[in-house]
A = this chain, B = another copy of it.
């Protein structure tokens, strides 16, 4: 199947790859001679939760591969309750596709999986983009019961994407307006959509977050082994995974550039999608051993 045709997450068909354990759903579009960019998704998100404004812009210069891990959408299997377990599925998927080395965009939960993969098999990634995520041993990772999130998650007047708009964007007029535009973009795909995640997905992934907050030995010492050029991005008003976690990531990863955006929350990459796509493309186009681009 041509990857240039339907080079948009609004229209790209969902594909499937069978491995020895599971069958994984994915979408693959765009073209380029560079490494493909594998995108690892956030809490309960499916392939349909990738903003086409981001994925399509990135697909102009490279192949973009959106991955649906086990137990999500139409992928078979069970959602693991550890990041390490999720990393194994991502490896099985990439091995199944025959991708030996790629770039990665890990958003939120996906950024944790990317860190785990970089430690388990460094050769899998050339360059890493970690957005709205946290190192092992980070703090305040996806505590949905805290007041600033619970007031939206427990509001019966908010349903579906309306909740996402509230919790992914800052409570300013400008950020909420960007959130509404984001929701509209997600809604453009009308056919071949993925099933929405249920509570079993959420429970397993939340268990993985609780485990990821624990650490043994020297805090953040494990990051010293991740030598990949890395771009870390966070919105300054992120209530789901606060920006402090990105400060720790960029201060302890030996080769990371940090970028923060104002007036934005967890979905900063979607709010400032033009800037993010430009920065990410420039970062991925660089071939230096050092992260600054």
Chain A residues packing against B (C-beta within 8 Å): 174, 236, 243, 247, 250-251, 253-263, 272, 274-276, 278, 282, 290-293
A255 CB contact (under 8 Å) in B250, B251, B262, B282 = B262
Closest B residue to A234 using CB positions: B258
- Whether the pair A255, B263 counts as a contact (CB closer than 8 A) is yes
A293 to B258, CA, bound (A): 15
Dominant SS at the A interface?
mixed
A267 to B163, CA, bound (A): 44
- Whether the pair B256, A259 counts as a contact (CB closer than 8 A) is no
A236 CB contact (under 8 Å) in B174, B251, B276, B293 = B251
A263 to B288, CA, bound (A): 14
A173 to B293, CA, bound (A): 20
The count of identical subunits is 2
A255 → B minimal CB distance (Å): 5
A257 CB contact (under 8 Å) in B255, B260, B291, B292 = B260
- Whether the pair A263, B258 counts as a contact (CB closer than 8 A) is no
- Whether the pair A256, B250 counts as a contact (CB closer than 8 A) is no
Collect the chain B residues with CB atoms within 8 Å of residue A274's CB.
Answer: 292
Collect the chain B residues with CB atoms within 8 Å of residue A260's CB.
Answer: 250-251, 257-258
- Whether the pair B272, A262 counts as a contact (CB closer than 8 A) is no
Question: What are the 10 A-B residue pairs with the smallest beta carbon separation, nearest first?
Answer: A275-B292, A272-B292, A258-B260, A261-B292, A236-B251, A255-B262, A256-B262, A250-B260, A275-B293, A259-B259
Collect the chain B residues with CB atoms within 8 Å of residue A262's CB.
Answer: 250, 253-257, 290-292
Name the residue in A254, A275, A282 with the highest tally of chain B Cβ atoms < 10 Å from its Cβ.
Answer: A275
Closest B residue to A291 using CB positions: B262
Collect the chain B residues with CB atoms within 8 Å of residue A272's CB.
Answer: 290, 292
A62 → B minimal CB distance (Å): 20
A65 to B107, CA, bound (A): 41
A291 to B290, CA, bound (A): 25
A222 → B minimal CB distance (Å): 17
A258 CB contact (under 8 Å) in B174, B258, B282, B290 = B258
Closest B residue to A293 using CB positions: B275
A244 → B minimal CB distance (Å): 9
- Whether the pair A259, B258 counts as a contact (CB closer than 8 A) is yes
